[in-house]
Amino acid sequence: MSFTPPRRGPLTRRATVVASTVLMLLSTVLVGNAAAHGSAIDPASRHYGCWERWGSNFQDPAMQTEDPMCWQAWQANSNAMWNWNGLYRTYVNGDHQGAIPDGQLCSAGQTQDGRYSAMDVPGEWHATELDNDFTVTVQDQAEHGADYYRIYVTEQGYDPTTEPLGWDDLELVAETGVIAPGEGETAGSGGGVLVEIEASAPGRTGRHIVYMIWQASHMDQVFYSCSDVIF
């Protein structure tokens, strides 16, 4: 006696598709968490801010008029925002200026094959209002810890809406010592810990860039970010 297996109906096929989709999403989440690193989230780095404001609605045409610098960044490479925690360089050996040319500081020297290059484009990026005494909050998702954080602010007279950022535009305003892996406040979402760095930039008014260098402790891996602010 021969046996003919039953044909799969529409419900069975849909169930298979749904199961496959869930598996793919779960794999993406697990891979994303495994590769998590971090960034400055307050004041928000350019790439984190674009993800935070538009990640759930990145196809909204309103972005072009409401947030044009994020719009150009999403058009250039949307992976820069989906990977907001991955703007880093490896094996810099402490020579940040040697590794990153002027005009490419916000992209860490066009790291990751230029994925973050749109972050270097001058313009009216969304800016956070700050007092001259302020706190930078970094989310260390993977709890790498830090050999140090360095916080810079652009000199008075620099115009981030028209000028690419160069090393000579920056003044060091804060530097930490070693921060042990896991040290900091537990992050409310996204995992890891929040590290707070106190800084002061007297005499600044108007638009500026807060630039972060985070030398991670687990290996020679350095995270960089540009955060647009208004003092």
User: What is the structure's pLDDT at 42?
Assistant: 98
Asked whether residue 52 is domain-assigned, the answer is yes
Asked whether residue 20 is domain-assigned, the answer is no
Residue 39 has pLDDT above 70, yes or no: yes
Domain extent for 88? 38-230
Asked whether residue 222 is domain-assigned, the answer is yes
CATH of residue 72? 2.70.50.50
User: In 3D, which of 213, 99, 102, 98 has the Cα closest to residue 164?
Assistant: 102
Q: Whole-model pTM? A: 0.85
Asked whether residue 126 is domain-assigned, the answer is yes
Asked whether residue 225 is domain-assigned, the answer is yes
User: Please, what is the average pLDDT of the chain?
Assistant: 88
User: What is the structure's pLDDT at 190?
Assistant: 86
How many residues make up the chain in this entry?
A: 231
pLDDT digits (tens, 9 = 90+) for 86-142: 999 999 999 999 999 999 999 999 999 999 999 999 999 999 999 999 999 999 999
Q: How many other CB atoms are there within 10 angstroms of residue 97's CB atom?
A: 12
* Cα–Cα dist 46/103, whole Å: 15
> How far is residue 156 from each of residues 126, 180, 225, 231, measured CA to CA in Å?
19, 34, 19, 11
Stretch 193-217: mean pLDDT: 98
Quote the number of domains for the chain.
1
Q: In this structure, what are the phi and psi dihedrals at residue 78, rounded to the nearest 5 degrees?
A: -65, -25
Kind of pairing, strands 128-129 and 221-230?
parallel
Asked whether residue 16 is domain-assigned, the answer is no
Asked whether residue 91 is domain-assigned, the answer is yes
Please give the residue that has the higher pLDDT: either 14 or 202. Answer: 202
Asked whether residue 125 is domain-assigned, the answer is yes
* Cα–Cα dist 95/128, whole Å: 29
Confidence of residue 9 (pLDDT cuts 50, 70, 90): low
- What percent of the chain shows pLDDT beyond 90? 83
